[in-house]
Structure 1
Amino acid sequence: MKKLILTSALSVLALVAFAQSNTSTTNQTGSNNNATVTQTGTNSTATQTIVGDNNTTEITQSGDLQTAMQTVTGNNNEAYTTQSGNENYAATTQTGDLSKATVTQSGSFQQAYVNQDGTGVALNEATVTQSGESQLANVDQMGAGNVANVTQSGLDQVADVDQMGTGNTATVMQDKPWEGIGGNSAVVYQNGDGNNADIHQTEQWNEATVNQLGVGNDAIVDQNTPVKDPEIKNIVTIDQDGEGNYAKAWQDGTRHIADIDQIGNNNSATTEQWGTDEVAPNNTAIVYQEGNDNTATALQSGMYNDFVSIRQVGDENEAYTTQENDGAEWQNPNNEIFIEQTGISGLVTVDQSGNFNDAFVTQGGFDNEAVVDQHDGSYMNVATISQVDFPSNSFAKVDQTGSYNQATILQDGVNIGSTAEIYQAESGNVASIHQNNQDNYYGTSSAMVYQNVGTTNSVATINQDVLGSANEALVDQFNADNVNATINQSGHDVGTATIQQTGTGHVGTINQYGLYTPLNTAVLQQGASNNTGTITQTGGGNNALVQQNWP
């Protein structure tokens, strides 16, 4: 009888083994459980199974073929695994109550899985730290206070964190300082409540995916790839579904791809991509936002071949994009920006420097504003702004410096007063503004083209087909030769058209076609010699002034 009691007591004591062929097994069922296994040297294995009450378990193994497994089912759980060098493997499973799990593995072929389920209190927390060689870590937590932290260093990391409900937070940090092929990948999926995800990866083949569905969403990814190899790129994908969303992807190196997808509530998205690779930078940033307080920012800095696409569907949209292009002309450094907004009071700003840049902005709704700035010696840039459907009280502006640039502004739909401005400097530029009103609404529209400082061989066209009074069109071409300007106005009541050209060899044309009793005014002023000016007006009460050899 005494022998039986002694055996039962031993089952709850710490089991310590130092044999070189190490194996250890601990099974406990109830009360104040505490289990410890410590093993050093060679063929290690340790297994613990504990079922209930005030659990604490711990496995420490050093050297050679370690494997460690811990399974705890209920109450005040904690579980620790520490393994050092060689063929590590660790699995921890905990189900209910105050969970905590820590796995630390160093050197060689680590893998670690932690699964915490959490019915009943379950203040889940999991930390996995692995160092050098072929890491893989998987953390899976279901409910309550979830926190997960994975840190992996050196070589072929993969990390997968899956958290379902309540206090979610996940941090993955991976590092590959060793030479060689391969490297990081991280996936975090979080389902509900206080979500946050932070992924930090450095050097080579980084990929990161974050999916978050509900409530406090926040996601930040930071990736770095300094390797000059056309096959090496880092990829970021962030999906967020609802409420306080915020997403940021920072990428440093070359050949980046970032895809951010946000559906509802307080959305904000930021991607920054930096790269100096002369072979094939090819940075891509795509942001899609569906509804509520959207903001999107994309910044790209590098050699060439950068691409930005932002699509915003509802509510308080704003989009800011910057591309800095350092590519040489022989590299065909073509950067592109596409922005689409639908809603009210949308704002778009585009800032591009360098050559061969393209910017396309589309806005649907009213009270929208779009500004495209292409500068710093820009060459053969294209900018197009389309404000459609209900562009009333909308504002569009294109500012280009350099030669052979093209700018087009279209304001089309129920147009009760809109403003369009194009500014171009230097030679060979083309500017075009179209303002149309598809319904029987009255308003005032304004269109201005300024082509100054050596804008030789430039062309400017303004078409206004807007019902209303006091429509204004102005083309100002100064200090240039051989420029061409055309203004066409049609509609009701009052229109004012002015063309001012200094230099020689200019062509200026103003056509005003009015319904009912228009009171149109046309002013055509041309300087120096060999200029041609034409004014055509229909209706009564019109005024026309032509001045040549002006001022």
Structure 2
Amino acid sequence: MFNKKTLLALLISAASANAMAAASEAYVDQTGDNQQATVTQAGSTQLSLVYQDGDGNIGTTDQTGSDNRSGVYQSGNTNQAAVTQNSVSSDSTVAQAGDSNQALIVQVASDNTSLVFQTGEGNEAQVTHGGGGHHFSIVTQDGTSNDANLSQGGNGNWSFITQSGNDNVANVGQYGDGNLSNVFQAGDDNVATVNQKDTGIVSAEQFGTSNELRVTQGDLATADILQVGDDNYAEIDQTGSGNYANVDQDGQLNDAFITQSGMTNEAYIAQSGMSNTAFAVQSGMNDHASIIQAGSSNLATITQQ
């Protein structure tokens, strides 16, 4: 298993040495059988490191622009990593320990940073940094067949995805400026989908099996979701401005829905038990809604206009 601090130190050290020279540099180190490493560099002052230890790993780096740095580290068998940087002053690190993991990173614009860490088997991560740049993301996967997809447009977005377990899916899209999202999944078969416009904040945590959450944000929205248990569902739709939503689910088969199309509203839903359903709909301004359900098969609806 790779040590994250060690990998980052290696890349930073190589970048410091590279900064003293105008030419590009590429280093490939392979141990094992049937490894493939391909490095293509155009532009100036590029740095690429590819390290492979195992059998049948494939590492590809394509750099255009200037002052980009990329590190691919593969330990295990049949892992695949592809990094494309058509950028200026962007950094990328992929570290894979295990078998048949796949990582794809695409960076355009400038000053992007992407880190992908995969441990286990059959995990997939895809990261795209576009728009005006200045994006930062970390994807960490530990387990089997987890899937993470992250797309950042606009400017200055930050995203963190952590998956521990099996068959979890996280999809995050940040298309405006200044968004922050943190998705944490521990368990199996959980699904998280997040879409953010401008200056949104999402914190989503899933513990258990087959929980699902969906968040859609407009401007200046904040959403906090915690799911503990199995087969819970939470959906937050914030198309207004300055709204806050919080969902806390502990149990099984609970459903929570919050829709905020107004401004500066607050909505809270807390569910413990089984098969509870709650709806909060806010289309006005400065309203507050709170629903607490403990037990089974309860139904509550709040509408504020």
TM-score class normalised by the smaller sequence: 0.3 to 0.5
**Which structure has more strand as a fraction of its residues?**
2
Q: Give the TM-score of the pair, scaled to structure 2.
A: 0.47
What's the TM-score once normalised by structure 1's chain length?
A: 0.30
Query: Which one has the largest radius of gyration?
Result: 1
Q: Give the structure, 1 or 2, with the largest relative contact order (CA under 8 Å, sep 6 or more).
A: 2
